Each structure stands twice: as C-alpha cells, then as structure tokens.
Structure 1
Amino acid sequence: MSRATAGLPAAARAFLALPHTAALTTLRPDGTPHATPVRFTFDASAGLVRVTTRAGARKARNVAAGGAAARVALCQADGFRWLTLEGRAAVTDDPARLAEAVRRYTDRYRTASPAPPDLVVVEMAVDRVQSLNL
C-alpha cells in the first residue's frame, strides 16, 4: 500500500468503489493536458489505479511517450464530492496484468471490459490524494 492511500478514510474507499466514471488527465507530448472520461479500478492494497484501453488511444500514447516520468491524475466526482488520485503511470500489455485489470473492471462495473485486439492497461501508482466532502 502506498503512503498516499494508507490513510484513506473509509468514506473515500467506499466512494472509489462506486461504479462511476472519472476523468483521466494525461499530458500530450507538447505538454498540454488531455482529459477523457474513463472507467477504472482502484486497488487500495497496492495503491494502484488501472484503466483498460486501446494501445492506440491518446491516453495510452501520452503515458507511453512520458516514459518513466509520466504522471497522470484521475478525478471521480459526484455532485459536491470528489476525489483525485495522482501518480506515476505506465502502459503494459502483460497478459497477467491485463487479466487482473479486466477481472477488477468486471467486478466493479458488473459488465465485461471492452476487449479490442490492442488492449492495454494504464497503471498508476498513487502518490497523492486530494478530496472534498468525503
């Protein structure tokens, strides 16, 4: 568990378990932000956010272009409650990591994850948490 997520209050964990979408913000190679709605999973014990997507999607390309320094932010909001998770991210097509991401997605959203032929997972190691009204 990351230090950032170790002290996450029960209300925040419950909020992150709701089947909402969130906005994922990545940085384009020119440094401008790219925000897109995503479905995601949060693994509190590992301090890890997972987003499945296509390898050719802008968000995946942005993370890959950022290399080891790539940072992303994911914000889930519901009315006046919101929670933002930030951290370093990487893109992988490792079969075991993809299977875990798809399993968690299916558990959270009660539907199968889309399965394009170029499926990858963006994994973010959370190192900062911000929230309001949680």
Structure 2
Amino acid sequence: MSGATVELPATARAFLTLPHTAAFTTLRPDGTPHVTPVRFTFDSATALARVTTRAGARKARNVAAGGPAARVALCQADGLRWVTLEGRAAVTDAPARLAEAVHRYTVRYRTAPPAPLDLVVVEIAVDHVLSLNL
C-alpha cells in the first residue's frame, strides 16, 4: 500500500518527525467517529503513515470493518501548529511490514513500540494533507 504523491513543505515534513502523538480518527461500523491518541510514523517519499496497535484494538477493528474504502485521519498538533494526514487505511500483520513499522517507530520515538502478541500495523495511504502555521 502506498499513498498518492502529496506535497508537503519542508517545515511540515520536519514537524512530522518530532516525537509527538496524534489524534487518530477512525469510523465505527455505525458511522460514528472514534478518536484516540497514537504514536505514528510518516514516510513522505511514499506518503505512507503507519500506526502500530493490537489487532483487537477498536481502531484496528474499525479499519478492518471498513474494508478497502476505510478512510482515517491523523492530526498532530503542537500549540497553533498542526498537520492532518488523511487517506485510505488497511490493517496488516505481514512480518516485513510490521518490522518496517517497528523500525520507523523506534527511530522516531527512540524506543520500541509495545509488542503485544497480536501486533498489527495500520497503514494509511495519505492522499490529502491539511496544515496550519508550518
């Protein structure tokens, strides 16, 4: 899975490397939003964002229930600066994809993510970006 080409100013790309959390919005099967704080990574070269989580977590179940049309949003904010990444999402437990997600997380946050037995990665093909003051 890879996202569309998205244009981000250098300041926004740099902001997305800081060790902040983001609000992650998925849609429940009834269409209501589920918002939770997460740590994530974003690869600007491929426009792919990654969130590691448990397969049983509500966010992963929401994405899986949405099928190939599942859309999500990640919004990282710091004061009056923010970037929102939107796109289609999918859940995978493919070993190579999990390893890449864990590696990127570890580089960004300088610590490995939690490693539950049911670890999965939500991959977001980012196709729309909003930002302010970057």
Q: TM-score range by the shorter chain?
A: over 0.9
Query: Secondary structure at the residue paired with 1:17?
Result: coil
Whole-angstrom distance in 1 between the partners of 2:18 and 2:94: 27
Which stretches in structure 1 are left out of the alignment for 5+ residues?
none
What's the CA shift string for 1:52-81, capped at 9, x where partnerless?
000000000000000000000000000000
Question: What is aligned with 1:110?
Answer: 110
Instruction: Provide the C-alpha distance between the structure 2 equivalents of 1:90 and 1:51, rounded to a whole number of angstroms.
Output: 10
Pairwise mapping of residues 1-134 of structure 1 onto structure 2 (< 5 A)? 2-3=4-5, 5=6, 7-134=7-134
Post-superposition CA distance 1:34-58 (Å, at most 9, x none): 0000000001111000000000000
Distance 1:83 1:107 in 2: 20
SS in 2 for 1:128: strand
Point out 4+ residue stretches in structure 1 off by more than 4 angstroms.
Answer: none
Aligned residues: 132
Identity of aligned residues (%): 81
Distance across 2 between alignment mates of 1:127 and 1:87: 5
Once the 2 structures are TM-superposed, how far is the Cα of residue 2 of structure 1 from its aligned partner? 2.5
What value does the CA root-mean-square deviation take over the aligned residues?
0.8
Cα distance in 1 for residues equivalent to 2:13 and 2:4: 14
TM-score where L is the length of structure 1: 0.97
Between the aligned partners of 1:44 and 1:131, the Cα distance in structure 2 is: 15
**Higher percent of residues as helix:** 1
Equivalent position SS for 2:99:
helix
- State the TM-score, normalizing by the size of structure 2: 0.97
